[in-house]
Amino acid sequence: MEFHEFGNLRNPKLLLIHGMAVTWESFHPLIDELSKHYYLIIPSLDGHNGDSSSHFECIDQETEQIENYILSRYTDYVHGAYGFSMGGTILLKLLANQKIQISKVILDAAYYLPLGIYSKTAAMILSKILLDLRNNQLHPKMRSLLSYYDVDVESLKKALYPQISLKSIENCFLELFKFSLQQSLRNSTEMYYWYGSNEIIPAKSIKYLKQVIPNIKEKVLKDLGHGEFITKYSTEAVKEMRTIYG
């Protein structure tokens, strides 16, 4: 895992965790403006950082590396955190571990929908679809199906990290589908859940999350799909973040 940092160390620290099959550079539209107000800590997850020997293994391993990095260099307190998609799921694990205290958290379409005994099968199927998309081999019927569910196939393809391995893809999906919180998160952290109105899975995830995080605040982004708020409307996204993080 690599870490990228921006801004003035005297400013409040903000942890940004990217999603599956994309890189830390997905935050580029936000960095210039956010770094004027916060000290940004951005991990580049294993299997997503250009190191051909690196593979994403599990959420626990990624979480531990982030904890060790922050605790070895700073304190156990981070003012705010933002996690996109799988990055939000990793943030949930960070909060559950309670090794790092975070004042305010935004989960942007974080996956939280445990599939139980269907996890492995679902991971295999979706890994094949994602790999086909990356390799320009996506079946026309599958492309039509994704479009039907308002998935911007071309934007998704452009965002995909081209060097990600099949092993990393499968492990990401499997870890997401197996992940669940063992107990409710009842702490002082202010928590927000964002997702686009065109997204299907996050709308289901938030229902499950409210069972374990009763105080989480939900925000539906009208007419937007997965990750489109920070990539297509970064100015508005930064304004919303600043309203929350202060």
pLDDT digits (tens, 9 = 90+) for 28-67: 999 999 999 999 999 999 999 876 678 999 999 999 999 9
**The pLDDT value given to residue 186:** 74
- Contact (CB, 8 A) for 104 and 159: no
Could you state, in order of their start, the residue ranges of all structural domains in the chain?
2-113+183-245
Q: What is the rounded CA–CA span in Å between residue 102 and residue 80?
A: 6
Place of tokens 């919180």: 181
CA distances to 20, 106, 111, 129 from 132, rounded to whole Å, are 16, 31, 22, 5
pTM of the predicted structure, to 2 decimals: 0.91
Give residue 227's region: left, alpha or beta (phi > 0; psi -120 to 50): left
pLDDT for res 26: 93
pLDDT, residue 137, reads 77
pLDDT at 40: 99
Residues comprising the chain, all counted? 246
Which stretches of the chain drop beneath a pLDDT of 70?
51-52, 141, 145-153, 155-157, 159
CATH number for the domain whose boundaries are 2-113+183-245 = 3.40.50.1820
- Residue 147 confidence (pLDDT): 62
